[in-house]
Amino acid sequence: MLIAVNAGNNRVLLGGYEEDERIFAASIATEPRQMPEDYACRLQQVLGLYGVDTGRIHGAVIGSVVPNLSAVLEEAMRLLGVSKVIEVSSGVKTGLNIRSEQPRQVGSDRVAGAVAARAKGRLPCVVVSLGTATTFTALDQTGALVGSAITAGVQLSVEALRVQAAQLPMVALEAKDEGILARNTVDAMRAGALYGTAAMVDGMIARFADALGQQPYVVVTGAFAPLVTRFLRVPHEHDENLVLDGLRLIWEKNHLGR
């Protein structure tokens, strides 16, 4: 079994793969101050929940946007007996043509998401990730990563609004819909965050279509995708495991464990 690990600012995603089949997908909270032993214990518990014997794991691929966490997770995997571990960083084969002035600054999550989106074979494509940040990653007709846009994520925007506006309360982003005509402050903030993000995504996709010369295929992923996608007007696919699947493809590209 291959274990794919994607470490984000708020959660660490885990995926287990046998050949091309995803056996499980799970997540734990990101804890930057924890040591390799801490993560090894937490990972072992998650694997146990899904009936995975660590002796079955032949390798792991790690992508992280949290400084220093890659090394911690790699050591945690080695403590679990996994000897073949690769990190998505410079020098790792991805097969992705990144047309950027600073390709090394493209986050591993966006690289993996782009690899998985390209493998779907519907190009041009825009990957929309709704997490701590909201990111747009554009692939042209050839599958090259040709451009990006980054803005504050849904929850981050709400928290910034509360901090800067003294009279506004804390708001939980929930899977409920009171409609765009909110009748109280909490619902108004929730509507602004969710409908506003959906409208932004719709508008940004229209602009990407202009730049790419045709309407792109849209794949949406990220922690807040389930809350926002129901309000989108642009045709799209919601793929919650896009980045994990991309990490698996990157592993295969590097021919480890075969």
Nearest by Cα to 117 from 196, 225, 1, 221: 221
Residue type, 22: R
In the chain, the DSSP E strands lie at 2-7, 11-18, 21-29, 59-64, 85-87, 125-130, 133-139, 145-152, 217-221, 237-238
Contact 8, 65 (CB under 8 A): yes
Residue type, 116: A
- The C-alpha atoms of residue 87 and residue 96 are separated, in whole angstroms, by 16
Contact 228, 239 (CB under 8 A): no
Cα 104 off chain centre by: 18
Angle between helices 69-79 and 36-49 (to 10 degrees): 60
For the annotated catalytic residues, the residue numbers are 109
Residue 233 is classified by DSSP as: -
Beta bridge mates, 43: none
Contact 9, 132 (CB under 8 A): yes
